[in-house]
């Protein structure tokens, strides 16, 4: 056992790992969660995991039992009714609710249970809907029913002093939203709170239930709606997995439950636990099979059932799923909820404390943990959630999407964003209404990649634990944060190493610069007779090892140097770069073809490789298909014969090779507007024969569209979020720029790093990455690895290009075609992330825009050829 775990067990050993349970945590993981080998799953607040033992019991039950429709009268239907009755009782028992006082109504999920209350509650202009800021969107949706019927709605903040509210020594401030409120003493009100905030993990004092119902005037002092009858709805979907409320002590009127949050399976099943007197207030307009005792088709007559469960469970319930929940409860009951709570609390407090203790080499704090204003609060007052954001040494924020992408590469699954809890998100991140509206106007929506807007995070990173989580899960996560986001003193003694600035910009490296200046002095006599592009010097033997002595590489913005062993010395060359290959990708996200030469087309508003990414595939629902969503697209091969004027397409799934004329008469005449990444196009469609071929090749219905040269235009969104970098020219169907350049030397260096990581055991079997993995248009050879990072522009033959910066890489480069099968691994993105990260982006390759050189008479069409010399920073 390592010393870190020994220290953890000294502090948390009494609570961690079920020491008095039927199985230890190590035995549980080894026998019931074998599928987690090599994976760290930390999103139990989103969905916890089912046990393999649990599922074996479910499958055995379904395989050996016959369950009939509970609305029938057969023997097997009666058996189903009996199982459902037992399941209802299990749910009530879990919350210590007497069947004399409460009923369990099965729904399709916790959201459906909330919606049921919102729809059926008797809202009026006399009603009010009060809810805490830390509520899920599914709860906020109830507000629409309330406001739609003339009721008022307002949010409240519950401060930490509420932990001591039972002593009646404090008054909790209430914040009321700006809605006009009409008051009557007999009015009905609904108050909504969660048992646990799914953003911060803070657990609310459930004494609030009685206080709201019996003494609302005290905590709503000064509010014009402090009088009236309050009813309490509790969202227990998350909190009850480790801390179920006791309804005998905290008699809420409504409680919503989600079973996959409890024990992973089944999904699509929840419950509404309703007090009998509260349920009588709910009025449904709709009726269905199973909810009526009698109805007449041709007159307005219906007699509804009187039992609460039968009245609100529309149609046939999900009886097979209901029959399965007993096996989940069996797992929880065998471990006991108190032991599960202690086990998850120990991991939560360990991670919370460790994150707060992390500092950069300059003393700056690394981590902001939300809801951690006081660690003096008992760890049992926190749910098993830790939400946080990470800062760089200069105080700027790492984007949460960067954290999520790097965690995924490290085999860690976590959650980022606002977790469908906009109130808690705004509260903990300090986002004003102006900030939130500004973010929306900038294009930010839920689940997008805009994680930092105007210097502020738009969400957070969340890790959460379940009953099967282990110390090893928590430790691997902590090690990941340390290794990826904490700046440390450089181990080789060259000052400090900042991982987020891992791309070499050696003009800032003083040690290299001093060494380079010494060499430059030696070169001056020779350079007076030679231009930079033609300098060629034979250096003494003692300079051969200079590169290793200096411990770094040099990529100048003026010229590039590299060492080539030759005889008794080395040769220092400047500017020796050549075009090694040209690749065209006619259909976006499909395979391309390489060629020795290829024309550049002048579209009038920009230059591009002729026919490059001029076609796309679109699903019948209008979605543009890419390898990210349809990896099999890489199996579709393409080639173009310019003399015949034909695009050839082939697929291992299709016997015949498809031939598509490059002339416009091949269209079927239909056109449609397409918007991709801030650009709009007029796309021309093809006939059914072409579309059927591609549908068969991909195994899903789709159609082929071609960008119309004459009518496509750029959608000007100057300065808006999401604008492509090459906004000055039409991009066909490319993403950020018309040209992507990759260096063979950079790829070679990457392969060496991947191989080295594999030997050190930090990655799996080493892989050899081809430059084509990055889908470049242009592959160059010569120079030092990453020399292209310092290029502002370049000239290839008589063609001029401006650098738009590095290409931000994604998971797509981890897809590889092996013998007709698409395989995915962590490489090369995992290795690139270790040394090519800049401000949240993993950069590899250079994006280019075509330019017309000063004083150069540009032909309508020019040519790129393999072997042409490349002149960096030439204009």
- Residues with a known catalytic role: 420
The residues near 457 (Cβ < 8 Å, ≥ 6 apart) are 389, 397, 399, 400, 429, 451
Beta bridge partners, 270, equal: 107, 258
120, 124, 130, 135 alpha-carbon torsion, rounded to 10°: 40
- CA 191, 192, 196: angle at the middle one, nearest 5? 145
The closest alpha carbon to 406, from 396, 416, 395, belongs to 416
Could you tell me the two tokens for 83?
């199982």
* Per-residue DSSP letter, 360: -
Residues 387 and 366: their CA atoms lie apart, in Å, by: 14
What would the 3-class secondary structure string for 114-182 be? Answer: HHHHHHHCCCCCCCEEEEECCCCHHHHCHHHHHHHCCCEEEEECCCHHHHHHHHCCCCCCCCCCCCCCC
CA dist list (Å): 166 to 163, 192, 219, 244, 698: 8, 19, 12, 19, 63
Cβ proximity of 17 and 24 under 8 Å = yes
The closest alpha carbon to 133, from 124, 125, 143, belongs to 143
Residues 648 and 590: their CA atoms lie apart, in Å, by: 12
- CA 634, 638, 644: angle at the middle one, nearest 5? 175
CA dist list (Å): 746 to 85, 770, 846: 66, 11, 11
- CA 542, 543, 549: angle at the middle one, nearest 5? 100
251: three-class secondary structure by DSSP: coil
Cβ proximity of 626 and 618 under 8 Å = no
The closest alpha carbon to 674, from 721, 616, 718, belongs to 616
């Amino acid at each position: 056992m390592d010393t870190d775990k020994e220290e953890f067990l000294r502090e948390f050993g009494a609570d961690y790992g079920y020491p008095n349970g039927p199985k230890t945590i190590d035995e549980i993981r080894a026998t019931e969660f074998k599928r987690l080998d090599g994976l760290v799953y930390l999103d139990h607040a989103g969905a916890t995991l089912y046990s393999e033992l649990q599922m074996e019991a479910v499958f055995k039950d379904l395989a050996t039992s016959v369950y009939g429709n509970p609305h029938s009268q057969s023997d097997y239907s009666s058996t189903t009714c009996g199982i459902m009755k037992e399941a209802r009782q299990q749910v009530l028992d879990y919350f210590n609710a007497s069947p004399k006082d409460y009923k369990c109504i099965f729904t399709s999920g916790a959201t459906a249970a909330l919606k049921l209350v919102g729809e059926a509650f008797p809202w009026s202009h006399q009603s009010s809907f009060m809810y805490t800021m830390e509520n899920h969107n599914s709860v906020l949706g109830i507000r629409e029913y309330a406001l739609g019927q003339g009721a008022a709605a307002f949010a409240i903040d519950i401060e930490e002093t509420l932990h001591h509210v039972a002593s009646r020594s404090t008054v909790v401030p209430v914040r009321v939203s700006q809605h006009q409120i009409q008051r009557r003493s007999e009015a009905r009100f609904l108050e909504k709170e969660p048992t646990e905030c799914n953003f911060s993990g803070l657990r609310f004092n459930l004494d609030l239930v009685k206080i709201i119902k019996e003494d609302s005037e005290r905590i709503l002092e000064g509010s014009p709606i402090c009088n009236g009858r309050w009813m309490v709805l509790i969202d227990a979907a998350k909190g009850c997995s480790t801390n179920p409320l006791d309804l005998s002590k905290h008699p809420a009127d409504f409680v919503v439950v989600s079973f996959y949050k409890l024990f992973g399976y089944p999904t699509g099943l929840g419950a509404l636990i309703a007090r009998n007197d509260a349920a009588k207030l709910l009025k449904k307009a709709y009726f269905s099979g199973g909810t009526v005792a009698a109805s007449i088709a041709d007159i307005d007559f219906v007699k509804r059932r009187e039992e609460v469960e039968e009245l609100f469970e529309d149609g046939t319930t999900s009886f097979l799923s209901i029959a399965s929940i007993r096996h989940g409860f069996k797992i929880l009951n065998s471990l006991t909820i108190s032991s599960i709570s202690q086990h998850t609390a120990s991991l939560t407090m360990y991670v919370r404390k460790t994150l707060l203790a992390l500092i950069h080499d300059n003393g700056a704090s690394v981590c902001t943990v939300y809801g951690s204003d006081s660690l003096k609060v008992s760890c049992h007052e926190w749910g098993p959630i830790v939400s946080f954001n990470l800062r760089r040494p200069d105080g700027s924020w790492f984007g949460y999407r960067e954290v999520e992408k790097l965690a995924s590469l490290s085999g860690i699954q976590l959650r980022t964003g606002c977790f469908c809890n906009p109130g808690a998100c705004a509260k903990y991140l300090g986002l004003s209404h102006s900030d939130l509206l500004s973010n929306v106007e900038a294009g930010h929506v839920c689940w997008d990649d805009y994680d930092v807007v105007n210097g502020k995070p738009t969400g957070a990173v969340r890790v959460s634990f379940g009953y099967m989580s282990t110390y090893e899960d928590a430790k691997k996560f902590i090690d990941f944060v340390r290794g990826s986001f904490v700046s440390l003193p450089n181990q080789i003694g060259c000052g400090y190493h900042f991982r987020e600035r891992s791309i070499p910009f050696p003009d800032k490296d003083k040690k290299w610069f001093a060494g380079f200046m010494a060499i430059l002095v030696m070169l001056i006599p020779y350079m007076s007779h030679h231009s930079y592009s033609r300098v060629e010097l034979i250096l003494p033997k003692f300079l051969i090892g200079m590169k290793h002595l200096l411990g770094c590489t040099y990529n100048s913005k003026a010229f590039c140097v590299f060492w080539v062993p030759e005889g008794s010395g080395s040769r220092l060359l400047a500017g020796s770069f050549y075009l090694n290959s040209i690749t065209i990708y006619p259909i976006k996200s499909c395979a391309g073809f390489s060629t020795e030469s290829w024309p550049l087309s002048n579209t009038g508003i920009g230059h591009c490789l002729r026919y490059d990414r001029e076609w796309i595939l679109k699903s019948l629902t209008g979605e543009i298909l890419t390898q990210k969503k349809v990896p099999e697209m890489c199996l579709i091969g393409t080639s173009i014969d310019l003399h015949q004027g034909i695009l050839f397409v082939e697929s291992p799934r299709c016997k015949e090779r498809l031939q598509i004329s490059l002339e416009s008469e091949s269209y079927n005449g239909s056109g449609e507007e397409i918007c991709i990444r801030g650009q709009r196009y007029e796309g021309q469609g093809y006939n059914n024969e072409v579309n059927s071929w591609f549908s068969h090749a991909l195994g899903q219905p789709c159609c082929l569209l071609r960008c119309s040269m004459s009518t496509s235009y750029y959608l000007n969104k100057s300065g808006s979020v999401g604008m492509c970098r090459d906004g000055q020219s039409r991009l066909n169907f490319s993403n950020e720029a018309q040209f992507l350049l990759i260096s063979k030397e950079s790829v070679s260096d990457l392969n060496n790093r991947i191989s080295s990581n594999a030997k050190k055991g930090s990655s799996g079997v080493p892989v050899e990455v081809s430059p084509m993995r990055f889908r470049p248009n242009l592959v160059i050879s010569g120079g030092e690895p990453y020399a292209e990072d310092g290029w502002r522009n370049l000239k290839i033959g008589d063609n001029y290009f401006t650098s738009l910066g590095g290409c931000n890489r994604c998971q797509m480069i981890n897809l590889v075609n092996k013998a007709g099968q698409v395989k995915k691994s962590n490489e090369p993105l995992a290795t690139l992330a270790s040394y090519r990260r800049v401000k949240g982006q993993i950069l590899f390759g250079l994006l280019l825009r075509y330019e017309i050189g000063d004083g150069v008479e540009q032909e309508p069409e020019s040519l790129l050829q393999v072997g042409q010399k490349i002149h960096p920073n030439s204009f």
